[in-house]
Amino acid sequence: MPLKEAIAKKKEGENTGINHRPEVDAKIDKFIAENPDVWNKLMSQPKEDIARKRILDMVTANERRAGYSAEMREYVEQNPDIQREVNRRISKLPEDQRQRAYSRIANSVISQHSMRQGAAVAA
């Protein structure tokens, strides 16, 4: 298959928002077979209701992530050692990448800090 056709086919699959891989389709088909009442209920609902439910799931996930990020920032601010290390690591990054990298770096520093404290308690 030429590259141009492969790219076009991939873009078609992206439009649906569903990952059409055989193993994923098999899981979906198995669930539908085991839960026909759920399938029938979904199929009887208007498309707009299903789309709104999907949007609600996305909003809820974003709120959960934002809440976790806020808790992590608060924890970092309450622990000066961790805050210094996070700031040191963040300062090495370009300005436009710092915001996105904060959570990842803070998680890493918190984990390392916790491991060190656990080792000190065990000794």
Tens-place pLDDT, residues 37-50: 999 999 999 999 99
Q: Is the pTM here over 0.85, yes or no?
A: no
Whether 85 is covered by a domain: the verdict is yes
- The count of domains in the chain is 2
Tell me: do 71 and 103 sit in the same domain.
no
Count of CB atoms situated within 10 Å of the CB of 93: 14
Tell me: do 43 and 59 sit in the same domain.
yes
Q: Which domain holds residue 74?
A: 19-78
Whether 4 is covered by a domain: the verdict is no
Instruction: Report residue 55's pLDDT band, with 50, 70 and 90 as the boundaries.
Output: very high
Whether 58 is covered by a domain: the verdict is yes
Tell me: do 68 and 84 sit in the same domain.
no
Tell me: do 28 and 64 sit in the same domain.
yes
Tell me: do 51 and 100 sit in the same domain.
no
